[in-house]
């Protein structure tokens, strides 16, 4: 029988291959609002106050796959720039074989069209490094289906990495309590692997998102915020919709996700607002799998958002509050 390490290596190779063939070469499980700065640079500085966001995700927990993702970002509004500026750094650790490191800078020009109508256009420039360590990797063709023995490899994987330059752009509209936008990532469509083949290029990703606030009780600061997103990348379509119930100190969310591979997922979570910082937690699980390969638990996500400035003292732009997702 193959030991746990060999099973993990095979799973990672299949996982990365599947992600490349389906959703565009990135080992991430869809965008969330706390890391949307990476996907849509037009959101940079749109909350007015400077925010530091820390996020951690454990992918497919409980299966011993050792798949982790961390993200750090900062953004704020700067009057001298007539908009927002920020940076981000993320790392996807995939079982000790793949390691994807990404970092970049983003800028958004914010234009006030009327009292409650604002437009924002953003641009991001980033680097993307994929590291590969093949010392413990076992390819599918090395496994004897009858005895489970590991045979000599039919091809040789070399350790190393590759770094590429990437660009992204986005547009946002803020009107009253509504905000929505569209963004395009991977404008350069560069090759993250070392094959220099068209099939291995980072395909452009289109992301559309929107949310709106509705008051339930203005006196008690209760509101509900419907939110949704649509993601398109080379034949892969993902749709998510749900709502956030918010009070002054506590938020609870529930969202439904589906895609054109016949997968249906549900995400639930909560956030606690302590004034200068917010702590959040989300859990996503699969209820319908199009290929019967996805485990029930898809990810755990937790993190914290620190506010560095007082929004009430910065009235130069329209400010929004992200859904606590």
Contact (CB, 8 A) for 71 and 102 = no
Q: What is the pLDDT along the chain (325 residues), one digit of tens a residue?
A: 334 333 434 344 444 433 433 444 554 455 566 777 788 999 998 887 788 999 999 988 877 778 889 999 999 988 888 899 999 999 988 776 778 889 999 999 999 888 889 999 999 999 988 877 665 555 555 455 555 545 444 445 555 678 889 999 999 999 988 989 999 999 988 877 665 555 567 789 999 999 998 988 877 789 999 999 999 988 889 999 999 999 989 999 999 999 999 999 999 999 998 888 899 999 999 999 888 777 888 889 999 999 886 544 444 455 566 555 5
- Residues in CB range of 156: below 8 A, 6 or more apart: none
Domains defined for the chain, CATH in brackets: 4-313 (2.40.160.40)
Cα–Cα distance for residue pair 156/134, rounded to 1 Å: 9
pTM above 0.85, yes or no: no
What is residue 168's three-state secondary structure? strand
Count other Cβ atoms within 10 Å, centred on residue 238: 21
- Tokens representing 158? 């070399």
């Amino acid at each position: 029988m193959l030991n746990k390490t060999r099973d993990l290596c095979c799973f990672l190779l299949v996982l990365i291959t599947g992600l490349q063939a389906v959703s565009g070469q990135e080992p991430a499980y869809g965008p969330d609002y706390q890391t949307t700065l990476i996907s849509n640079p037009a959101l940079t500085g749109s909350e007015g106050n400077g925010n530091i966001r820390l996020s951690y995700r454990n992918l497919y927990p409980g299966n011993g796959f050792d798949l982790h993702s961390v993200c750090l970002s900062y953004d704020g509004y700067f009057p001298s720039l007539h908009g927002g500026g920020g940076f981000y750094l993320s790392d996807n650790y995939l079982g000790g074989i793949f390691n994807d490191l990404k970092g970049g800078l983003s800028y958004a020009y914010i234009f006030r069209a009327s009292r409650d109508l604002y437009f924002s256009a953003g641009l991001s420039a980033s680097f993307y490094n994929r590291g590969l360590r093949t010392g413990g990797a076992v390819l599918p063709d090395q496994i004897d289906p009858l005895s489970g023995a590991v045979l000599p490899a039919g091809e040789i994987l070399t350790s190393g990495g590759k770094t590429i330059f990437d660009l992204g752009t986005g547009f946002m509209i803020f009107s009253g309590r509504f905000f929505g936008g569209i963004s395009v990532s991977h404008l350069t469509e560069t090759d993250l692997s070392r094959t220099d083949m068209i099939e291995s290029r980072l395909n452009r990703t289109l992301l559309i998102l929107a949310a709106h606030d509705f008051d339930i009780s203005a006196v008690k600061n209760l509101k509900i915020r419907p939110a949704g997103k649509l993601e398109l990348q080379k034949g892969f379509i993902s749709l998510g919709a749900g709502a956030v119930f918010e009070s002054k100190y506590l938020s609870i969310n529930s969202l439904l996700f589906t895609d054109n591979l016949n997968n249906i997922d549900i995400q639930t979570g909560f956030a606690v607002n302590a004034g200068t910082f917010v702590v959040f937690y989300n859990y996503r699980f699969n209820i319908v799998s199009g290929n019967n390969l996805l485990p029930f638990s898809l990810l755990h996500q937790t993190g914290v958002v620190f506010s560095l400035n007082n929004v009430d003292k910065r009235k130069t732009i329209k400010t929004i509050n992200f859904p606590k997702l």
